[in-house]
Amino acid sequence: MTKNVSLRKSKTILFLFFFILNSAQYKVIAKVDLNLDKINDNVYKDSISNNFIFEYGKLNHKKKNDSIFFFSNYNKEAGSVNFKIIKNIITVKFTYAPKYLDHDLLTFTYDKQKKDWFLSNLLSYRTDALSERLMTEKCHYKVPKKLDFSFKKNRFDDIQEKIIDNRKYLSKCSKNYLE
């Protein structure tokens, strides 16, 4: 009898622990029409891995999910992701090295035919920590249509490698001092 009670208690504790762990990891960060079908969808963010889940609501209440691993190589210790959706535009502010204010602003626009989000604009902010007056450089990059960077299929590393590290897509830069 005591064995059954203890087994039941341990199962209950295990279930509660599993529920708390799962509910703390993913949080709803937006309720907005993602796929332009006039039905609100949910956006969940994993606070540990910086992954997203787009849950599309349907008229017949069947939901479709997209798992977004765009920042999968950057967990919460490596960088933080702020996410904003206005109409059919997703703006992502990815901050890393927060001590030096380094971040990138990525803008994605929804393509209704391809049912995906594609990079349309990229701004990069870098601070030179060796500069006496903490010089910050703000750079705008042209994003060629032929590269077709998808929020669902690509990774941030692809953008780093093909656009930011490649100066041929650099449109303009300006320098400011933080002091």
Q: Which domain holds residue 87?
A: 2-177
Looking at the 3D structure of the chain, how many domains does it have? 1
Q: How far apart are CA 155 and CA 110, in angstroms?
A: 17
Joined tokens for residue 20? 């708390």
Residue type for 67, please?
S
Q: How far apart are CA 120 and CA 161, in angstroms?
A: 17
The pLDDT score that the predictor gives to residue 135 is 80
Rg (CA), the chain: 21
What does the H/E/C string look like for 18-59?
Answer: HHHHHHHHEEEEEEECCCCCCCCEEEEEECCCCCEEEEECCC
Q: Mean pLDDT per segment of 10 residues, for the chain of length 179 residues? A: 57 52 70 86 86 80 82 80 86 79 90 91 86 82 88 91 86 80
- 128 with 134: CB under 8 angstroms? yes
With CA atoms as reference, report the closest residue to 177 among 102, 115, 127, 116.
127
Q: Could you give the count of Cα atoms lying within 13 Å of 70 in the half-sphere of its Cβ? A: 25
Identify the H or E element spanning 157: helix 156-159
Q: How far apart are CA 128 and CA 116, in angstroms?
A: 36
